[in-house]
Amino acid sequence: MRHSDKPLSAISPQYAKLCKFSAEISMVSSIGSLLNWDQETYMPAKAAAHRAEQAAFLSALAHEKATCSEIGDLISACEQDRTLTGDSKSSEARNIREMRRDFEHRTKLPTELVAELARVGSQAQEVWKTAREKNDFAMFRPWLEKMMDLTRRKAECLGNGSAGELYDALLDEYEPGATAKEIEGVFMPLAERLSLLVKELGASGKPPSDAPLRHPIDPSRQHELGLFVIRAMGFDLEAGRLDTTAHPFCSGMGPGDTRLTTRYREQSWTDALYSTMHEAGHGIYEQSLPKTPALFGTPISEAISLGIHESQSRMWENFVGRSREFWVWLLPQAKQIFGGAGGPLGGALRGVSVEEIFAAVNTAKPSLIRVEADEATYNLHVLIRFRLERALISGQLAVKDVPGEWNAAYKKYLGVTVPDDARGCLQDVHWSFGLIGYFPTYTLGNLYCAQLWETINKKIPSLGEQMSRGDFGTLKAWLNQNIHAHGRRYRAGELCEMLTGKPLSADPLMRHLEGKLRPLFR
C-alpha cells in the first residue's frame, strides 16, 4: 500500500500500463458476465444461437488481450523493478505475482479452444435447461460428452504441474494450489463423520417438524422478505439487483453492479430465503472488494478463491440465517410481511414460535437436491459430484454411465433413491458449461466458514445479541476489513491461518453441526 497515494504512472509507467491492460481484460469479461446474466434471466429463447456467438467472440477477445506478448514483457519488466517488488508484501508486488500466475495460466490455452468452450458451453447450457425440464438425459448426453472432451483438452493444455492428475489443473483455476488428493484427504473423513452424525440424528427420537415451512407463501411476498433481509445484511441494492432464475447465482460484474438471482417455491418459502441470503453473501464480498478505478481489473480487486467466496455465502446462509438469534429478529418481521394474523395469506406462521422455526430450518435429512439440502447433508452431495467429475476427467467414468453412477452414489452416501434424472444428474447447471473442479470449493467454503466463525465469535463476543436485533453491521465490518479488503493479496490457506491461527480443519464444522443439531433432535 506504500504507493497508494501516488498516481500509478509516477510509480512505474510499465506497471501503469500493465494495470491498464488488466482493466481492459476485466472490462471485456464483465460485458460477458452481463450477457450471461441476461441469458439466465430475460433473454428470449430464440436469441440463444446468436448469444452463443457473442459469448464465443467476447471470450476470444478477452483471451487474446490477456495473452499478448506485450503483457508478458511488461510483467517481466515489473518483476525486475525493485521499487515495485522489493517489498514482497506491497500491493504492487502481490498484484504482479498474481498477474504472472494468470498470464502463465492463460497463455497455455489456445484462443480457439477458449472460444470453443464458450460457444459449446453456451449451447449446452440451453440444451441442459430443456433436458432438465423434460427429464431427458439422452438429449443432454452428446453435449455433456462434447463439454467433457473440451474440458479434458483444457486440462491437458494447462498441465498438471508435478505428479498430480489432470483434474488438479482444473481445480487450480478455482482454488489455487489445491489438489484432488488433498481434497480427498479432508473430504472422506468428513463424509464419514457426517454420515455417522446424520444416522445418529435419524435414529434419535423425533426429528424437528418442518410444518412452519410448508405454509404456501406467494412468491411476491417471498421476494419482499428476501429484499428485506439482504438490505439488513448490508447488500447495497443501489449497486445490485435480485432476479429469478432456474439456478440461483451471483455475478459481480464491476464497480456498482452486483447481480443476485434466486428462485421461489410456493410450498417451501425458506428455500428462496436461504438461497437469496447465500447469493447476497457472495454479493457483499463482491461489493466490498477494492474495485477503485485505479485497481479495477487487477488481482488485488478480485476474490481470493471460490472456497473463500463460498465461506462468505455459507456464513450468511447457515451461521447467521440458521441461528436462533436470527429468527428472534426475523420471525415477527416475516409474519408482518406475509400478512400477519387475518391478513391476505390467512395468517401464515400465526402461532409459530422462534423455537419451532429454529428447529424446522435445522433438519438433517438425506434428500435429492443439493441446493435445497440441509447443512449436515450438503457436503455429501458435494462429495458425490467431486468423485464423479474426477472420474469423468480421468476417463474412468463415461458420460453414458453418469445417471447410473449418480443414482448408486446417492443410495450409498445419502441412502435415497433417485426417482428421475431431473432430480438426479440433471439438477446442476455446472457441467453444462464446463465448470469442472468447481464443486469441491463448496465444501471447502463450509470448512473455511466454520473455522472463521469461531474466530469471529471470539472477536465479537456480543455477536449473538446483535443478530437478535437484526444488527449485522459489526459482522459485515469484520468481514470487510479482514477478508474482503485484501482481494487476492493472500492465498486462501494463508489467510485462514493468519485469521484463525490454524490450518484448515474439519473440526470446527463438526463442532458447529453437532453442537447445534444434537439438542434439537433429542
| Residues designated as active site | 279
Least separation in angstroms between residue 313's CB and Zn ion is: 4
Among residues 143 and 378, whose Cβ is nearest to Zn ion?
A: 378
Q: Which of 112, 92, 40, 466 is nearest to 261 (CA)?
A: 40
Restricting to residues 377-406, which ones interact with Zn ion according to CB under 5 A?
A: none
231 CB-near residues (< 8 Å, 6+ apart): 237
Please report how close the Cβ of residue 33 comes to Zn ion at its closest, in angstroms.
Answer: 16
Q: How many CB atoms lie within 10 A of CB 130?
A: 12
Q: Does residue 128 contact residue 140 with C-beta atoms inside 8 Å? A: yes
3-state class of 240 per DSSP?
A: strand
Indicate the residue among 302 and 310 with the shorter CB distance to Zn ion.
Answer: 310
**Nearest distance, CB of residue 263 and Zn ion, angstroms:** 14
Sheet holding 250-254, edge to edge: 240-244, 257-262, 250-254
- Output 158 or 496, the one with its CB closest to Zn ion: 496
Strand partners, 240: 258
- In terms of CB distance, is 296 or 438 closer to Zn ion? 438
Q: By rule CB under 5 A, what count of residues binds Zn ion? A: 2
Q: How far is the CB of 371 from Zn ion (least distance, A)?
A: 9
- Per CB under 5 A, 95 contacts Zn ion: no
Kindly state the smallest distance separating residue 322's Cβ from Zn ion, in Å. Answer: 15
Q: Which is nearer to Zn ion, 310 or 374 (CB)?
A: 310
Please, what sign has the CA dihedral across residues 319, 322, 324, 330? Answer: positive
- CB nearer Zn ion, residue 21 or residue 249: 249
Please give the residue whose beta carbon sits closest to Zn ion in the complex: 313
Q: From residue 420 to residue 449, what is the string marking binding to Zn ion with x (rule CB under 5 A)? A: ------------------------------
| Nearest CA among 180, 249, 186, 168 for reference residue 430 | 249
Show contacts with Zn ion in window 269-328 (CB under 5 A): 310, 313
Q: Grid coordinates 480421468 are at which residue?
A: 394
Distance CA 414, CA 384 (A): 10
| Of 335, 353, 360, nearest in space to 214 by CA | 360
The full DSSP string for 351-419 is T--HHHHHHHT------S-GGG--HHHHHHHHHHHHHHHHHHHHTSS-GGGHHHHHHHHIIIII-----
Shortest distance, position 174 Cβ to Zn ion, whole Å: 12
The answer to whether residues 341 and 193 touch, using CB atoms and an 8 Å cutoff, is no
Closest CA to 362 of 212, 210, 509: 210
Point out which residues bind Zn ion (CB under 5 A): 310, 313
